[in-house]
């Protein structure tokens, strides 16, 4: 059939966006349609995601004080500004005292949680140091601070050890759930294997972590179908939290060569917002972070994400002397703000976005506890 039948134009049945957003489950073509929404359809998506957020996780926004404690990395990811082969980076390691001072600030200011983030290392010296820091953070905060780690691929033994020493959430971004696209943005060797990334996500769940991952949005070679598959991957992997944001190029990386293939930064920003909104509809009770990369494109980027689905924000507590050296991408915001300024700024931003800060709360993933409930019931029976 070539578009006409019985004297009238034959049209493939197309769902309206207003109907799709009311669904409880979504096919891949539904997700693609939502990601392509413009104008009033885009607003209908955002309104539905905001309503779903309020219904599923409420209006609270949870702080995660971010401490980027080292930019030394064994990986050579083709998109990353702190990749091992980038000789333009000044490498640093914050001292234990500096890290613990940042965590103490978070505790005294009732942030509820901190995130310890670093380049990917797996030496015994690194593993032991993180273990020691976890125990010290628990001690200085009377075990009141929640701790998320984002320290890359490790062995199951290491993950378990860190879990037992006080970490209870772990973020390990997949960046793309497509093996083909993953291969285009990473070196082709065993140290950057897609299957290893998946295996680590499985290990984190087995250890008991609230497990998080995420993707970059607007990569070279990336299609809407890739992004729809990413969303379905997050759903089928049954993650508890997601951190994802727009891809922003960095001139000292191999992927910069393909910058002419990119959508504009504004287009990538808008697509990232739609990814947040669609994910909230797809997985209503997970935690979704308002990525700092959004603010690198739009000064109000993080607030806009909070309005349409995100419920976690990460004030940067990294000592200012080090922040400019932890640039995974260009134009990273808040490089010169001290912790007090960053806190005050975010408090005002969240209030403008109509949110309420969950002071002193860990803000754990509701989804995690629902996921764990059957085994808990079994243990208690």
Sketch the domain layout of the chain as residue ranges: 50-375
* Contacts with 177 (C-beta within 8 Å, 6 or more apart), sequence order: 215, 226, 229, 230, 233, 234
- Kindly tell me if the per-residue pLDDT of 64 is higher than 60: yes
The C-alpha angle with vertex 168 and arms to 163 and 170, in degrees rounded to 5, equals 95
The C-alpha torsion from 55 through 268 and 74 to 94, rounded to 10°, is: -70
Spatial distance between the Cα atoms of 183 and 58, rounded to a whole number of angstroms: 38
Segment 185-204 mean pLDDT: 98
This prediction's pTM? 0.92
Q: Quick one: pLDDT at residue 8?
A: 37
- Do the Cβ atoms of 312 and 241 come closer than 8 Å? yes
Q: Quick one: pLDDT at residue 334?
A: 61
- Kindly tell me if the per-residue pLDDT of 265 is higher than 80: yes
Q: Quick one: pLDDT at residue 373?
A: 73
Mapped onto helix, strand or coil, the DSSP state of residue 33 is: helix
Q: Which residues of 295-313 are buried (b: 16+ CB within 10 A; e: fewer)?
A: bbbbeebbbbbbbbbbbbb
Spatial distance between the Cα atoms of 200 and 198, rounded to a whole number of angstroms: 5
- Kindly tell me if the per-residue pLDDT of 379 is higher than 70: no
Q: Quick one: pLDDT at residue 352?
A: 75
Q: What is the mean pLDDT of the chain?
A: 91
Q: Quick one: pLDDT at residue 201?
A: 98
Which runs of consecutive H residues, i.e. helices, occur in the chain?
A: 17-20, 28-35, 39-56, 96-108, 124-140, 156-164, 179-184, 194-207, 224-237, 265-282, 292-297, 301-307, 320-323, 339-352, 366-380
Segment 27-40 mean pLDDT: 97
**Domain 50-375 is of which CATH architecture?**
Alpha-Beta Barrel (3.20)
Spatial distance between the Cα atoms of 327 and 140, rounded to a whole number of angstroms: 29
């Amino acid at each position: 059939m070539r578009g006409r039948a019985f004297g009238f134009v034959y049209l493939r049945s197309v769902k309206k966006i207003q109907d799709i957003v009311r669904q409880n489950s979504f096919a891949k073509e539904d997700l693609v349609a939502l990601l392509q929404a413009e104008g009033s359809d885009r607003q209908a998506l955002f309104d539905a995601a905001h309503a779903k957020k309020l219904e599923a996780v409420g209006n609270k926004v949870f702080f995660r004080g971010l401490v980027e404690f080292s930019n030394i990395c064994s990986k050579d990811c083709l998109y990353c500004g702190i990749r091992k082969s980038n000789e333009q980076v000044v490498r640093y390691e914050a001292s234990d005292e500096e890290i613990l001072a940042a965590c103490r600030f978070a505790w005294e200011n009732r942030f509820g949680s901190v995130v310890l983030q670093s380049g990917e290392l797996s030496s015994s010296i690194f593993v032991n140091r993180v273990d020691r820091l976890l125990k010290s953070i628990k001690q200085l905060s009377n075990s009141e601070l929640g701790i998320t780690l984002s320290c890359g691929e490790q062995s199951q033994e290491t993950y378990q050890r860190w879990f037992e020493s006080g970490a209870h959430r772990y973020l390990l971004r997949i960046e793309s759930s497509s093996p083909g696209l993953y291969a285009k943005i990473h070196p082709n060797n065993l140290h950057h294997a897609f299957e290893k990334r998946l295996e680590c996500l499985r290990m984190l769940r087995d250890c008991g972590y609230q497990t998080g991952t995420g993707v970059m949005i607007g990569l070279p070679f990336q299609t809407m179908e890739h992004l729809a598959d990413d969303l379905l991957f997050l759903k089928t992997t049954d993650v508890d939290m997601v951190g994802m944001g727009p891809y922003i190029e960095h001139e000292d990386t191999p992927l910069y060569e393909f910058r002419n293939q990119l959508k504009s930064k504004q287009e990538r920003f808008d697509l990232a917002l739609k990814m947040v909104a669609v994910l909230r509809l797809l997985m209503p009770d997970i935690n979704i972070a308002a990525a700092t990369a959004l603010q690198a494109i739009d000064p109000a980027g993080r607030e806009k994400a909070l309005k349409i689905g995100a419920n976690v924000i990460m004030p940067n507590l990294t000592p200012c002397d080090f922040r400019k050296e932890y640039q995974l991408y260009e134009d990273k915001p808040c490089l010169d703000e001290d912790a007090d300024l960053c806190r005050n700024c975010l408090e005002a931003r969240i209030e403008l976005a109509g949110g309420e800060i969950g002071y002193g709360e860990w803000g754990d993933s509701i989804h995690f506890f629902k996921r764990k409930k059957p085994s808990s019931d079994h243990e208690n029976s």
